[in-house]
Amino acid sequence: MSFGSTLDKLTVPGILDFSLPPALEASEPPEARGLARDEVRLMVSSLAADTVEHAQFRDLPDYLRPGDLLVINTSGTLNAALVATRADGERYELHLSSRLPAHVWIVEMRRIAGHKTLPFYDATPGETFSLPAGASVTLHTPHNSQPGPKRLWIATLSLPYDLHAYLNEHGFPIRYGYVHEAWPLDYYQTVYVTEPGSAEMPSAGRAFTPELITRLVAHGIQIAPLILHTGVASLEAHEPPYEEYYRIAPETAQMVNTARRAGRRIIAVGTTAVRALETVTTQDGVTHPGEGWTRLVITPARGLRAVNGLLTGLHEPQATHLAMLQALTHCPTGECDHLALAYHEALAHGYLWHEFGDLHLLLP
């Protein structure tokens, strides 16, 4: 399969803009394609050498060295989608995004269109939608006060019993149009989950297996956990960032600081781990424990203070997450277009995008 026509549209500077062929959107878990979790492909970038290698994710220990620190996000995915019924009887899909203080939520209401859902922009403040088992959601005010369509809302839920029990019984995982079938929640979890809270899977860690983690630890790789509960913001549409809850334990902050002082590599597993770490890292490069809500967006102008490596999926054209990758890929030997090189390679070799797709390891 050739993707030559897409390569010509990949341009730098600025956030990368390219055409993503539908054939490269992973529409099902790798298990449905006859692969184990750790048999997805891994593209390995060397920033210093400005080179790209192609491997399988289970080869990850071959590209790491004793003393490397992997920082993982142990947030678990919720059954964050619910069927919602408007007063006129029309059915929608409610996506729970972020649970804020004072028991309010950021939510998204979507129109049901076959197996897909589409953003719904015509809700009104104060409107209440019915949810299963006598529950309801009331939309209070748009989350974004800027001009334009209102996709996200501040809302309150009225539930008959505990949130997690309710979602386990009546909810289902959020999925987008490129995923054609419904898959159980287990397919949207990493193997190292410690607490539920994410609307969407922190998918950079999905390919890890218990056996691979054992191999990494035996190889001398250190692993430090943190929490960042992900929401559903469509950052690739250039919407302003919004609050996500994070928690960095003192032990994790200490491991990051020790690794930095020793000159070792600190590799975040996923952009969520980067966002959390960078929120609590000062300009002089000291990482502190902390807990709260972050609105931080990483750009090349802001730069990175906490990490010098990243394991991540492949991001959509012009996605804001690509700005974070650009902040990381300023080559040690000077300015370079390494990110463009890597995405050329991913397109040319037919890598798969999205949460069930392939992965990209960027090393200093």
What does each of the 364 residues of the chain score in pLDDT, given as a tens digit?
A: 333 334 444 443 455 778 899 999 999 999 999 999 999 999 999 999 999 999 999 999 999 999 999 999 999 999 999 999 999 999 999 999 999 888 899 999 999 988 788 889 999 999 999 999 999 999 999 987 777 778 899 999 999 999 999 999 999 999 988 999 999 999 999 999 999 999 999 999 999 999 999 999 999 999 999 999 999 866 445 565 678 999 999 999 999 999 999 999 999 999 999 999 999 999 999 999 999 999 998 888 888 999 999 999 998 886 778 888 888 887 655 556 888 899 999 999 999 999 999 999 999 9
Quick one: how far is CA 311 from the chain centroid? 11
pLDDT at position 1, please?
32
Are 215 and 182 in contact by the 8 Å Cβ rule? The answer is no
Sign of the Cα torsion 248, 249, 250, 256 reads: negative
For residues 76 and 31, give the distance between their C-alpha atoms in angstroms, rounded to a whole number. Answer: 20
pLDDT at position 6, please?
42
CA gyration radius, the chain: 20
pLDDT at position 139, please?
97
DSSP count for the chain of H helices, then E strands: 8, 18
pLDDT at position 113, please?
87
Count Cα neighbours of 235 within 13 Å in the Cβ-side half-sphere: 20
Of 26, 127, 70, nearest in space to 352 by CA:
26
Pairing of strands 195-198, 75-77: parallel
* 301: CB partners within 8 A, 6+ apart: none
What amino acid is encoded at 89 in this protein? G
- Write phi, then psi, for 322 (nearest 5 degrees): -65, -25
| Cα–Cα distance list, 356 to 28, 30, 53, 158 (Å) | 6, 6, 21, 33
pLDDT at position 12, please?
37
Count Cα neighbours of 276 within 13 Å in the Cβ-side half-sphere: 32
Sign of the Cα torsion 346, 351, 357, 363 reads: negative
Instruction: Name beta bridge partners: 156.
Output: 138
Task: Say whether 239 sits in a helix, a strand or coil.
Answer: coil
pLDDT at position 72, please?
98
Of 81, 143, 87, 141, nearest in space to 110 by CA:
81
Pairing of strands 152-158, 309-312: unpaired
For residues 357 and 204, give the distance between their C-alpha atoms in angstroms, rounded to a whole number. Answer: 9
